[in-house]
């Protein structure tokens, strides 16, 4: 066999990976400026359990690769990523980092080849395609609360990086773990051997499914990679609005049904034939400490008033 860089990498992975081990891709998406708040717990209670004990071990039981994607807002993503990699001590796990500006995402959706599908998508009610800008359409002023567009595009960036690594290595990951960067891990994540690798594992918080499936963290088999990370592609090519229009009465005038990111994930997983399993949640959503408010004055710790949408 001709020895290429990809074949050589595959040979090294095979040689160094214990029998029965898994190759796991972790997509961390979202703002990373709160890395100092969540970083240490993320390493200890998410990454180390996925590695099978400690990712710093000479030969961890499972191989874990981390991909980071999120919004580009001035220099904060770079500083946050530096905090995450340097202070928390897992830079060798990170295989790719990408950030993108929202204006570029909206410009792409409003190009001649995409704008028709985009405007049909805007007919679907709900905050599932929220964005900071009210200029979501070139044809009219349109604004949605939330950050759905950010999430789907960040997940798409993870998808591209993961599939690129697979092509280079000439092999596929065994599982995908998707997780928000602002989750505070208070207990260890279930180890891979405790989670049937044929099932889609979703944390059960008892209250955060919002009519769909909890979408801040999940563990999927490789066969569901595109269902888990393909929300952006489906939005761009029109499959998203067609799926929603047939799956719920969301386009009917006067309908009380609206979509959110959780219902969009549930539809994608159902469409892909996923079998869902649950385990008790071991993390919760943590705010950036710079946005914490004083209970008496309503002022942020930095002294300026914090406004939450």
Tens-binned pLDDT, residue by residue, of the chain (309 aa): 344 554 554 445 444 555 579 999 999 998 776 666 777 888 899 999 999 999 888 889 999 999 999 887 655 666 666 666 665 567 788 999 998 888 889 899 999 999 999 988 888 888 898 887 767 887 666 777 788 898 999 999 999 999 999 999 999 999 999 999 888 899 999 999 999 999 999 999 988 999 899 999 999 999 999 999 999 999 999 999 888 877 654 444 455 667 899 999 999 999 999 999 999 999 988 765 555 444 444 444 443 332 222
Q: Where are the domains of the chain?
A: 23-289
Identify whether the C-beta of residue 232 lies closer than 8 Å to the C-beta of residue 155: yes
Phi, psi of 191 (to 5 degrees): -70, 155
> Which DSSP string do the residues of 151-162 spell out, in sequence order?
HHHHHHHHHHHH
23-289 placed in CATH 3.40.50.720: no
Identify whether the C-beta of residue 178 lies closer than 8 Å to the C-beta of residue 228: yes
The one-character DSSP state at 62 is S
Strand-pair partners of 98: 69
133, 164, 218, 242 from 173: Cα distances, Å: 36, 11, 16, 30
User: What's the pLDDT at 230?
Assistant: 97
The rounded distance, in Å, linking the Cα atoms of 17 and 219 is: 21
């Amino acid at each position: 066999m001709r020895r290429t860089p990809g074949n050589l990498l595959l040979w090294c992975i095979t040689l160094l990976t214990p029998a029965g081990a898994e190759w796991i891709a972790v997509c961390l998406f979202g703002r990373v400026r709160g890395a100092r708040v969540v970083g240490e717990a993320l390493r200890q209670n998410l990454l180390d359990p996925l590695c099978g004990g400690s990712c710093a071990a000479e030969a961890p039981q499972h191989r874990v690769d981390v991909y980071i994607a999120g919004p580009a807002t001035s220099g904060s993503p770079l500083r946050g990523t530096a905090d995450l990699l340097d202070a928390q001590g897992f830079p060798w796990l990170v295989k790719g980092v990408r950030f993108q500006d929202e204006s570029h995402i909206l410009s792409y959706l409003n190009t001649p080849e995409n704008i028709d599908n985009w405007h049909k998508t805007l007919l679907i009610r709900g905050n599932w395609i929220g964005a900071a800008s009210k200029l979501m359409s070139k044809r009219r002023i349109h604004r949605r609360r939330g950050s759905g567009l950010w999430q789907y595009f960040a997940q798409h960036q993870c998808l591209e990086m993961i599939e690129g690594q697979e092509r280079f290595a000439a092999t596929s990951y065994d599982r995908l773990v998707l997780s928000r960067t602002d989750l505070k891990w208070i207990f260890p994540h279930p180890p891979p051997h405790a989670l049937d690798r044929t099932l889609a594992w979703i944390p059960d918080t008892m209250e955060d499914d919002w009519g769909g499936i909890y979408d801040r963290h999940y563990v999927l088999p490789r066969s569901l990679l595109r269902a888990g990370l393909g929300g952006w592609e489906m939005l761009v090519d029109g499959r998203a609005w067609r799926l929603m229009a047939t799956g719920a009465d969301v386009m009917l005038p006067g309908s009380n049904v609206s979509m959110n990111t959780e219902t969009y994930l549930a539809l994608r997983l159902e469409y892909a034939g996923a079998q869902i399993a649950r385990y008790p949640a071991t993390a919760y959503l943590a705010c950036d400490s710079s946005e914490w408010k004083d209970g008496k004055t309503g002022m942020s710790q930095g002294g300026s008033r914090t406004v939450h949408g």
